[in-house]
Amino acid sequence: MTAPGRANGQPGAAVVEARHLVKHFPIRRGLFARSAGAVRAVDDVSFVVEAGRTLGVVGESGCGKTTTAKLVLRLEQPTAGEILFEGRNLVDLGPEGHSHYRRSVQAVFQDPYASLNPRMRVDAIVMEPLVTNETLPAAEVAARLRRLLDLVGLPRRAAELFPHEFSGGQRQRIAIARALALSPRLVVLDEPVSALDVSIRAQILNLLTDLQRELGLAYLFIAHDLAAVAHMSHTIAVMYLGKIVELGDARTVARDPKHPYTQALFSAALPSHPDEVREEILLPGEVPSPANPPAGCRFHPRCPQAMDRCARDVPALAPAAGRDVSCWLYDPAGARAPAGAR
């Protein structure tokens, strides 16, 4: 294994690739646990996370972004589809390959109060992944611990303290140090700053950016804060009811969203200045239940630009205007010109 502090992998090389991932949670009812349908949390989702780059996933509750993160972290097994790690299918890897995958893919979660074991001291928390996976002399472990603490900007005396002696922002630094202990290739960041104070968020986002640059990490950044995702990501995937509706370069998508849902989502984002007036697209109704998604395009019942076709046929994610969009408005063979497209 490489030591933390050394970049690994070629920038831009695919670290993890998801192909047609599907995750259904069966709904069980009654005494004999008969299956009564399924929650289609993730439905045919494909993406690539590249070394040194960030894939941002945005969407509202129930869109499947957290399930996607769990699939990549192998906390859940996909119903269908495959995950490729460094070009090789996980299913084909033996136990050693799985272990290698586990070591290469780490995570930082939202709640810094729940993600650290309150009974362990910081040194044990940070070094647990390393000690579990590798046999190293004590001196080497101590040296790496010091390096990790320096890396995330924590004082060295932090090692002997318990998590409750730290504030939210510092705890998140501990969680990041732990995630980096094994020199992973990919770090899944599930809402890493949403639980933090406003003045601390920028500290942590900057730290994550610096670490990526220094260590060549790939990030899968999941958040509901659009501005933060747009700021952190190179590529953005917008999810709605288990499907990716738009996928493309972060600035392109953020400045000129094409899918009607993305347009509504970004128009609903809060301004950073009172003079910043955006066209407000208010969506009617709420997100339908993923247990019973609408036929055709899943967004059509709330879409301000829905056509007859949208209720019947499922649009595929296809290239349009420099990114991928899943919408009949951008179908080259479509019957109608994209009315709302700018």
Partner 1 sequence: MSVRVPAGGTSGLALAWRLASTRRADGLPILPVVILGVIALLAIFADVIAPHDPEIGALGTRFRPPAWQAGGTAEHLLGTDHIGRDVLSRLIFGARVSMVVGFTAVIFAGVLGTGLGILSGYLGGWVDQVLMRITDTWLALPALTFAIFLAAIVGPSEMNIVIILAAVYWTRYARVVRSEVLSLKERDFVRLAIVANCSKWTIMRRHLLPNVLNTAVVLGTLMLGVVIVAEASLSFLGVGVPPPKPAWGLMLADGKKGLMAGYWWLTVLPGLCIVLMVLAANLLGDWLRVKLDPQLRQL
Partner 2 sequence: MADRPLLEVDRLSTHYVSSRGTRVVRAVDEVSFTLRAGETLGVVGESGSGKTTLALSLLRLLPPAARIVGGAVRFEGEDLVTKSPGEMRRIRGRRIAMILQDPMASLNPLFTVGDQVSEPLRVHEGTRRGAAWERARALLKAVRIPAPEQRVREYPHQMSGGMRQRIVGAIAISCEPRLLIADEPTTSLDVTIQAQYLRLLRDLQREHGLALIFITHNLGIVARMCDTVAVMYAGRVVEGGPVRRIFSSPAHPYTQALVDSIPRLGDGPARLTAIDGQPPDLVSPPTGCAFHPRCPRALDRCRQEEPPAFEVLAAHTARCWLAAPGTP
Residue 283 CB, shortest distance to partner 2, in Å, is 5
114 lines the binding site for partner 1 (CB under 8 A): yes
The reply on whether position 210 binds partner 1 by CB under 8 A is no
Task: Compute the least distance from the CB of residue 233 to partner 2, in Å.
Answer: 8
DSSP string for 258-288 = -SHHHHHHHHHSPPSSTT------PPPS-PP
> 329-335 — which CB contacts under 8 Å span 24+ positions?
329/258, 329/260, 329/305, 330/258, 335/307, 335/309
Task: Enter the DSSP assignment of 293.
Answer: P
CB of 166 to partner 1, least distance (A): 7
Q: Quick check: 224 binds partner 1 (CB under 8 A)?
A: no
3 contacts 65 by C-beta, under 8 angstroms: no
102: partner contacted, choices partner 2, partner 1, none (Cβ within 5-8 A by kind): partner 1
CA 20 centroid distance within chain: 16
182 alpha carbon, distance to own chain's centre = 20
Are 171 and 163 contacting, i.e. CB atoms less than 8 angstroms apart? Answer: yes
**From partner 2, partner 1, none, interface partner of 282 (C-beta below 5 to 8 A by class):** partner 2
CB of 26 to partner 1, least distance (A): 15
Chain positions 144 to 173 lying near partner 1, rule: CB under 8 A, are 161-162, 164-169
Q: Taking CB under 8 A as the rule, does residue 117 contact partner 1?
A: yes
User: Is residue 182 within the footprint of partner 1 (CB under 8 A)?
Assistant: yes
Query: 321, exposed or middle or buried, with CB in 10 Å at 0-12, 13-18, 19+?
Result: middle
120's contact among partner 1, partner 2, none, with CB below 5 to 8 A by partner kind, is partner 1
Interacting partner of 46 out of partner 1, partner 2, none (Cβ under 5 to 8 A depending on kind) = none
Binding site for partner 2 (CB under 8 A): 60-61, 167, 169-170, 197-203, 205-206, 209, 224, 226-228, 230-234, 250-251, 254-255, 264-276, 280, 282-283, 285-287
Are 247 and 47 within 8 A, CB to CB? yes
Shortest distance, position 97 Cβ to partner 1, whole Å:
13
Cα–Cα dist 58/64, whole Å: 10
Interacting partner of 327 out of partner 1, partner 2, none (Cβ under 5 to 8 A depending on kind): none
- In Å, how far are 45, 244, 277, 316 from 325, measured between CA atoms? 13, 8, 26, 8
Q: Which two tokens stand for residue 189?
A: 């960041």
Is residue 78 a contact residue for partner 1 (CB under 8 A)? no
Which bin fits 30, alpha (ψ -120 to 50), beta or left (φ > 0)? left
Residue numbers at the binding site for partner 1 (CB under 8 A): 73, 75, 99, 102-103, 105-107, 109-111, 113-120, 128-129, 132-133, 161-162, 164-169, 175, 178, 182, 195-197, 200
